[in-house]
């Protein structure tokens, strides 16, 4: 996606919170697992409506999570943005298949693990000539919240994406006993603290534990440190 059709905007503030503007639905997004603990689906819990402008914590230490309470200033939070701003398609590694391919930018991984069941999506890509494998492959890839993984339609030479309503999810990961990142869906524009826009994408995860080494994006650190937002 090259531009946002949504009126929702997220601005990263220097060593501070994410400032959100626009009429946006906020919800809790829970990673659902199968009997073996593998990520299989998303559960949603609606959250109370918020105003047209609010600040979401990104240092991980607010006492009013998910909202900022100014703690970042007290603890000297370093929120320096270091993420690669090269467009996704220029970074992506391709795993080829018959008519579909898998695109992968590993550095965007948010450790949601939808890629793992059924033999892992990297292996499934080569088997997408089988209709059942193809269906499973598309579902698993499109469930990846960070957009690390993308289905590439080789015939149309376009990304195969589900239509997501612009909204913000706060990820909870019961299987890992931790809280995950902020999930931006549906092409929400993100602007860096230096005023430069990031590439607008259908699926993006922003760090809210404060520990990512790929700020402002999540790198899965929340799982390693067992971050809790509640």
pLDDT, tens digit (0-9, with 9 covering 90-100), for 153-180: 999 999 999 999 999 999 999 999 999 9
Q: Is the pLDDT of residue 1 over 90?
A: no
Q: Is the pLDDT of residue 11 over 70?
A: yes
Distance, CA of 108 to CA of 217 (rounded, Å): 7
Neighbours of 192 (CB within 10 A): 17
Banded model confidence at residue 6, pLDDT cuts 50, 70, 90: confident
Determine the pLDDT at residue 63. 98
Q: For tokens 């892992």, name the residue.
A: 120
Q: Cβ distance 168 to 28 under 8 Å? A: no
Determine the pLDDT at residue 61. 98
What is the mean predicted confidence (pLDDT) over 193-203?
98
What is the mean predicted confidence (pLDDT) over 111-133?
97
| Strand duo 39-46 + 178-185: pairing | unpaired
What is the mean predicted confidence (pLDDT) over 61-75?
98
Determine the pLDDT at residue 3. 61
Q: In a 3-state reduction of DSSP, which class is residue 75?
A: helix
Determine the pLDDT at residue 66. 98
Tell me which H or E stretch contains 131.
helix 131-142
If one compares 191 and 3, the residue with the highest pLDDT of the two is: 191
Q: Is the pLDDT of residue 2 over 90?
A: no
Q: What percent of the chain lies above the pLDDT cut of 70?
A: 98
Per the DSSP assignment, residues forming a β-bridge with 177 are: none
* pLDDT tens string 129-151: 999 999 999 999 999 999 999 99
What is the mean predicted confidence (pLDDT) over 79-106?
97
Token pair belonging to 9: 């905007």
Determine the pLDDT at residue 149. 98
What does pLDDT average to over the chain? 96
CA atoms within 13 A on the CB side of 65: 22
Which residue in 114, 116, 88 sits closest to 103, CA to CA? Answer: 88
């Amino acid at each position: 996606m090259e531009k946002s059709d949504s009126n929702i905007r997220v601005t990263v503030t220097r060593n501070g919170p994410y400032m959100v503007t626009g009429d946006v639905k906020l919800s809790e997004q829970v990673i659902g697992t199968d009997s073996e603990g593998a990520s299989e689906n998303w559960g949603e819990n609606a959250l109370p409506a918020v105003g047209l402008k609010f600040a979401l914590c990104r240092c991980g230490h607010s006492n009013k999570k998910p909202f900022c309470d100014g703690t970042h200033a007290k603890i000297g939070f370093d929120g320096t943005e270091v993420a690669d701003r090269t467009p996704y398609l220029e970074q992506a590694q391709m795993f080829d298949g018959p008519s579909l391919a898998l695109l992968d930018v590993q550095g965007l991984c948010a450790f949601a693990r939808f890629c793992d069941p059924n033999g892992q999506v990297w292996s499934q890509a080569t088997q997408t000539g089988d209709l059942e494998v193809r269906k499973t492959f598309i579902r698993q890839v499109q469930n990846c919240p960070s957009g690390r993984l993308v289905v590439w339609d080789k015939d149309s030479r376009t990304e195969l994406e589900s239509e997501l309503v612009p909204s913000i999810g706060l990820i909870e990961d019961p299987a890992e006993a931790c809280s995950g990142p902020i999930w931006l869906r549906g092409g929400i524009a993100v602007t860096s603290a230096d005023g430069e826009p990031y590439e607008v994408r259908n699926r993006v995860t922003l760090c809210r534990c404060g520990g990512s080494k790929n700020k402002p994006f999540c790198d899965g650190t929340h799982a390693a440190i067992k971050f809790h937002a509640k």
